[in-house]
Structure 1
Amino acid sequence: MYFRCYSTQIICSTAVGNDGLCFWEVGSTTNNNTAKCRLLSCADIQNGTSISVCQAALPSCISNGTVCIPKAKCSTYTTKTACNFGGLDGICVFTQSTSAQAVADSGTCTLMNSCSSANNDQNACVAAQDRCSWSPASSTITSICTNHTCGTYNQVSGTCSRFFNWDKQSQQICSMINGICTATDPSTLKQSDCFKFSGYTYTWNSSTNKCQVCTKKDQPNGPINNTINDTNNTNTAQGLLLTFILGYLMI
């Protein structure tokens, strides 16, 4: 709700309401010639040709290259400027329109769902550089966005350790072998490297002297077992008490 006391342009123009920045809307045919103080929207921001201008005024806004617009899902964007910023749903991939009437930097925008989906969009591929590697086009090959290898990840990050696949459900372990960052089977790691290099998913087995995947141990004294033990202890105590009473009555 807005504060009712913001009834003048001077107060409204510098005020912050309970729900955000205030904006003085002058009277016009669109509001029945009734000036009012309302919440600032992206469309109210002046000179919104750049992301920085829009974000400085209202963090929930971005630019489409012409005006400020609300940040939304990738599929709602129609310009390269907005698409390159990213959507509420993730990294966006821009595809330039090939229509004869299309203007520069206008087209479709989709959610990036794999490295290869950004083969023609360097900005999207670089935005996902923790998982993807960009190779620009040359006279002999087209541009391509591919899954990292240990070598490409080492070049981008400066480290030779591990990286996730696209959906982050698995990871590739890497280690330096003869000065080259190489894909490594975690079971071959040394004891000193096993836990850390595997991303804390492997541990050293001293009985086999090998690095092995971490497994969940059963808890012998868990809640269920404790309940069983408590029940057994209770039954034992009740049995002893009954024996004592019967023995006393027989005296």
Structure 2
Amino acid sequence: MDSPSLHIAMFPLFAMGHLTPYLHLSNKLAKRGHKISFFIPKNTQTKLEQFNLNPNLITFFPLNVPHVNGLPFGAETTSDVSFSLAPLIMTAMDQTQPQIELLLTQLNPKIVFFDFTFWLPKFAQTLGIKSLQYFIVSPATVSYVASPPRMCKGTNLTEFDFYETPKRLYNGLNFTDAIGFKGCREIEGPYVDYIEEQFAKPVLLSGPVLPEPSKTVLPKMILLYLLLRYCDIS
């Protein structure tokens, strides 16, 4: 993907553990000259702006997250609520669909990355936009949770029920143009081959996508404290 440059949209799950890796990936892609349109809950944007290392190429597009009965007012991500309320964050995310469709229509990116919004690939296809379901979990996890044989037999994974994870992932995998993972073939190879075979579409691996080393210099007083606290300087 080094040449030519692409316009890529990013629409991760409304959870900091998904938004942050997607931004790390965006930084890696922007470093190679690609333009990124990053869809993010409006009030969560300020929490991630400091990690945007390429503001000339990565643009945040804030979303108004609709209120869902049962959620605290202003809740946008799973970090804003207790574990038991996480399903309602997913419901709220689904209700941003009209905003996403309008943004995709206006921006017309070449490809859109997503993870849990299984309804996205079909609409993207109507606009001639390719879709890539990019996972921050491993191919082994997806193989176990959402493979066609397992879905045909049914699943009883209560730890995933709060996101309806198997159904969402399976539907997305069926309609996306390609599948991506945060990982490498040296470790995940057999599972990658299995997913390629089951869904008959390419599986791409981004590598670990580690964040850039921090360039922040700690204030002198903090450095002094650390020296005194943890080092024997007698």
Q: Normalised by the shorter chain, which TM-score bucket?
A: under 0.3
Larger relative helix fraction: 2
Larger RCO (alpha carbons 8 Å, 6+ apart) = 2
Larger relative strand fraction: 1
Query: TM-score, normalization: structure 2?
Result: 0.22
Query: TM-score, normalization: structure 1?
Result: 0.21
